[in-house]
Structure 1
Amino acid sequence: MRLAFWAPIIFVLLWSTGFVGAKFGLPYAEPFTFLWVRMLIVAGLLSALAGVLRSAWPRGWALNLHIGVSGLLLHAGYLGGVFFAISRGMPAGLAALIVGLQPILTALLAQPLLRERVSAVQWAGLLLGFGGVGLVVGEKALSARILHIEPSAFVAIVLALLSTTLGTLYQKRFAAQMPLIGGTVVQYLAAAAGLFVLSLLFRETMQIRWTPQFILAMAWLVLVLSVGAILLLMYLIRNNSASRVASLFYLVPPATALEAYVLFGERLGVLALLGMGLTALGVALVVRR
């Protein structure tokens, strides 16, 4: 019961640091190279953990195939799109706003695909949450003087939005009962393979400057995001409806704004504070029993 209560809160706090890690690490490595190296490191660490804990591994080609597909969507598609968009000039806040559409898109698709019922109150919460995210990130976007964003960044971030939405639904439909650690290893290996292919297709040099800043960013993204947060996400998907899990992502941009205020002294205006309040209310309406 305690894990069920704290898991969503911890997940949001951890997941919100991903944009910060990307900002610190991307100057020293190309996006897809950065990510496939990260995926391999995480897969190795989790494999060792599975051996120590004697965790179960997914059995059967069908289950492993489903797990691999969900890994490609949740990790390669989502993270690849976000990192590529940021590397092409998109501010992290604007990227967070666009992928913040995920809860509404997930709720729309969960009805026909998973036969999950979304009540009127939950729809109101989803809309309130999206409005709150818009206020938080919109204030930051409006404060920027000039945004030099390549058109490919918008294509990438939309693909990231579609990938994380479909990945959540696919995971819930076909792989929700996968062994937690072993299944996550399979997901990361599939994602590493997909990202490596993308690095070849985009003719990346695959050169990494292993500066202290990059090593710190990689360590944080591997241990905190790819291990801690993803295991929590798999736990949440297994034990909650897809729309309820997706609603948690509404809290990520406001949490990122708070972290930027604490770490970098970025000031929060009235609109941002109002947006965070609306977001919290919206999520409360969606996840209420």
Structure 2
Amino acid sequence: MMTQTRSMLLLLLTMTVWGSTFVVTKDLVALWPPFTLAFVRVSLGTLVLLPLAVSRHRRENHLPWPTLWLMGLIGVALYYLTFNLAMVYVSASQGALVQASIPAMTALVAVLWLRERASAMRWLGIALSVGGVLIVFSGSAGNGGGQSSLFGNFLMFASVVCWALYTSLAKRVAGFDSLVITGAVIGTGAVLLAPLAGYEIFAANVAGEGLPPLPLRGWLGILYLGFVASGLAYLLYNASLRHLDASAVGVYTNLIPVVGVLTGVIVLGEPLSARAVIGGLVVMLGVWITSRSERPVAALASET
């Protein structure tokens, strides 16, 4: 019983960390270019996970590298590019509401791409989640955000689609050690992000500006996103899975957008329109219905 309780506490801590990344990222994109920030974050996460993955790699004979590179492109490079760029235009709480639709979008991709069978309840959950996202979009347009906020919401939704595709790809490598796969995927993602980060730094130097110097909170934020959110949190997540069912883990992942919204409102003082709140609740209802109609599968890595 104590072991299970400890696993639940570890899982709560992990979801809190991942939920808080919206606020931290929102602060950092005002200080550094989004692509460079994505590269540094992923690289720091790689430093944590890759040594452990290499030490366990001996157990795996032939890794599916074409799939791993595709996962690194979609689930790391494109995901963090769209996520960070979206945070330039939308609030942390707004982004968290849109990302709440990840489970339903993952179910939709599984139906359309993997040809999984879907019950009427599953379709209802997916439809409600999509409708909730559209309500969130309309809430941003009506809250003084204008076209920039709408553009940011579409970018955030693109990150949701990237993660749904990544999760479906992850099913191809479900038979391999999850730590080895995640270390490899994050490492390939860092390699793919390097040219874009280099271009941003080069463009800034050509403009005579260079990368702005970071205050202490900026360095602490980057270390938090890289070492804690993209590295340590995954290890805690992996440890909690040893004593909890995947279905229980699926329930806890719903805390990520809740933490994201609460920290955005409390820490940053962000306003939320009534339509955005209603849309978020509709999304969560759709996710709940979707999760009730299928057996949840634990993700390989963090969603944020």
TM-score range, shorter chain: 0.7 to 0.9
Per-residue CA deviations over 1:119-177 (Å, capped at 9, x if unaligned) read 211222233334445556654552226554697x67855653442222111112x2223
Quote the RMSD (CA, aligned, Å): 4.0
Residues 12, 249 of structure 1: 8 Å contact kept: yes
Deviation at 1:78, TM superposition (A): 0.6
Residues 93, 137 of structure 1: 8 Å contact kept: no
- 5+ residue gaps, structure 1, are none
2:196 to 195, 198, 206: 198
Of 264-273 and 25-34, the range deviating more from structure 2: 264-273
Q: Which residue number corresponds to residue 39 of structure 1?
A: 42
Q: Which residue number corresponds to residue 85 of structure 1?
A: 86
| Cα distance in 2, alignment partners of residues 189 and 162 from structure 1 | 21
Structure 1 residues 7 and 181, CA gap change in structure 2 (3 angstroms): same
Per-residue CA deviations over 1:28-70 (Å, capped at 9, x if unaligned) read 321121121222221112234457xx53457455523322321
| Cα distance in 1, alignment partners of residues 74 and 159 from structure 2 | 9
Code of the aligned partner of 1:144: G
Of 181-190 and 115-124, the range deviating more from structure 2: 115-124
Residues 95, 157 of structure 1: 8 Å contact kept: yes
Q: Which residue number corresponds to residue 228 of structure 2?
A: 224
Q: Which residue number corresponds to residue 110 of structure 2?
A: 110
TM-score scaled by length of structure 2: 0.71
| Cα distance in 2, alignment partners of residues 66 and 235 from structure 1 | 26
Residue identity over aligned pairs, in percent, reads 24
Within 5 A, what are the aligned runs for 1:134-153? 134-135=134-135, 138-139=138-139, 141-144=141-144, 146=146, 148=148
| Cα distance in 2, alignment partners of residues 233 and 127 from structure 1 | 31
TM-score scaled by length of structure 1: 0.74
Per-residue CA deviations over 1:53-91 (Å, capped at 9, x if unaligned) read x5345745552332232122111111111212333x344
Q: Which residue number corresponds to residue 168 of structure 1?
A: 167
Per-residue CA deviations over 1:247-283 (Å, capped at 9, x if unaligned) read 9877654442222233234455655554554444333
Structure 1 residues 139 and 233, CA gap change in structure 2 (3 angstroms): farther
Q: Which residue number corresponds to residue 187 of structure 1?
A: 185
Residues 102, 249 of structure 1: 8 Å contact kept: no
Per-residue CA deviations over 1:169-206 (Å, capped at 9, x if unaligned) read 1112x222332222222111111111112234555447
| Cα distance in 1, alignment partners of residues 85 and 176 from structure 2 | 30
Code of the aligned partner of 2:186: Y
Q: Which residue number corresponds to residue 22 of structure 1?
A: 25
Structure 1 residues 128 and 24, CA gap change in structure 2 (3 angstroms): same
Structure 1 residues 122 and 47, CA gap change in structure 2 (3 angstroms): same
> In the alignment, is residue 177 of structure 1 matched against residue 178 of structure 2?
no
Per-residue CA deviations over 1:71-118 (Å, capped at 9, x if unaligned) read 22111111111212333x344455555555544443233125334322
Q: Which residue number corresponds to residue 258 of structure 1?
A: 262
Residues 265, 271 of structure 2: 8 Å contact kept: yes
Code of the aligned partner of 2:78: G
Report the count of equivalent residues.
Answer: 279
| Cα distance in 1, alignment partners of residues 97 and 271 from structure 2 | 18
Of 107-116 and 8-17, the range deviating more from structure 2: 8-17
Of 267-276 and 218-227, the range deviating more from structure 2: 267-276
Code of the aligned partner of 1:281: L
- 5+ residue gaps, structure 2, are 205-209, 296-304
Residues 46, 181 of structure 1: 8 Å contact kept: yes
